[in-house]
Structure 1
Amino acid sequence: MKRTGEIVFSFIGIILFGSLCIGSFMLYGTIGESAGTKDLAQEFITDENIKDVTAAQIITFLQNFFLYLGAISLLCTAGGFLSIIRIRKNESVGKVLIATAILGGVLTLFAGFLGSIAYLIAGITNVSKNKKLARQN
């Protein structure tokens, strides 16, 4: 049975999660080096009248967040690659794609929403095709 639709949607999810990964790691690397970031964080602290947090702590938090986002999206990208490899061998990977979609969407705090939707479509399609094959045999 052809699996073109599942492969296409998985590839779309890989592209979306991959671009999120690359963007997150780029922001992680550049956010601490920018003088504008320090000024913006200090302006935020003074505007909101925050006394217990420094600008360096805000920048460190943002760096850690982008590192986390990049790592999670990298794992989701790897899950998509593995799913495509297994789909081509006609194995059932629908449940893996659905789990990757749900976890990827939630753990990226819905920044990977579109990639999750693509994985979810591919996973549901794979599960429904496998059930149809099981009924025919």
Structure 2
Amino acid sequence: MKRTGEIVLTIIGACFFALISLFGFMFLGLSGDNAFTQEMENMAATDPALEGVDMGFMTDMIAAGGWYFIIVGILAIILGIVSLVLLKGDKHPKAAGIILIIVAVLSALATVLISIISSILYLVAGILCLVRKQKETFNPEY
């Protein structure tokens, strides 16, 4: 049985997870940028609501968030590739479906629904893996 739909959805979902990882790298780049830190300090100086906020701590939090998105994105991509290997040749579609559904739910929750599009793609691919059955062929010789 061809699993083209599941494979395409998984590849597109992995591409969206790659974008999330790129956002993580962008956060890392911002945390190391002195101009960004200076701009944040200027905003804190002009806004009374941000008075007393340590901007060094804020840049550290941005860096930590960047690493978090990188790790979640890369893990989702790796598990997507594992499910593609399981799907290739229609070897283990049930295992691939379970992996895709678990990754979809956990990544959506872990990124506070930032990865909702990629999670939905993984979820649909996982459900298709579990629901689609091979057509039984009738052999008149038996």
Alignment TM-score, normalising by the size of structure 1: 0.86
Instruction: Report how many aligned residue pairs link the two structures.
Output: 133
Tell me which stretches of 4 or more aligned residues in structure 1 moved more than 6 Å.
none
CA change 1:79–1:30 in 2 (3 A) is same
Tell me, in whole angstroms, the C-alpha distance in 2 between the residues paired with 1:42 and 1:64. Answer: 22
Aligned sequence identity (%)? 29
| Structure 1 letter corresponding to 2:36 | G
In structure 2, the residue matched to 1:11 is: 11
| Secondary structure class of the residue paired with 1:111 | coil
The answer to whether the 8 Å contact 1:83/1:97 transfers is yes
Provide Cα deviations, 1:33-90, integer angstroms capped at 9, x if missing partner: 2413332245136511432x31101111111111111111110111111111110042
The answer to whether the 8 A contact 2:27-2:62 is kept is no
| 1:58 to 2:70 alignment | no
Gaps of 5+ in 2: 138-142
| Residue 71 (structure 1) aligns with | 71
Match of 2:120 in 1: 117
* Equivalent residue runs for 1:1-137 within 5 Å: 1-44=1-44, 46-47=46-47, 48-51=49-52, 53-90=53-90, 91=92, 92=94, 93-129=96-132, 132-133=133-134
Gaps of 5+ in 1: none
Higher mean alpha-carbon deviation, 90-99 vs 9-18, is at 90-99
- Asked if structure 1 preserves the Cα contact closer than 8 Å seen for 2:30 and 2:36, the reply is no
Between the aligned partners of 1:89 and 1:41, the Cα distance in structure 2 is: 56
Cα shift readout 1:88-112 (whole Å, capped 9, x = no counterpart): 0421211110000000111012111
Name which one, 1 or 2, has greater alpha-carbon Rg.
2
| RMSD between aligned residues | 2.0
| Residues 1-60 of structure 1, C-alpha deviations (whole Å, 9 max, x = no match) | 110000000000110001211231233134322413332245136511432x31101111
- Cα deviation code 1:104-136 (max 9, x no counterpart): 11101211111101000100000101xx34x95
Normalised to the residue count of structure 2, the TM-score between the two structures is 0.83
Q: 1:60 to 1:95 in 2, by over 3 A?
A: same
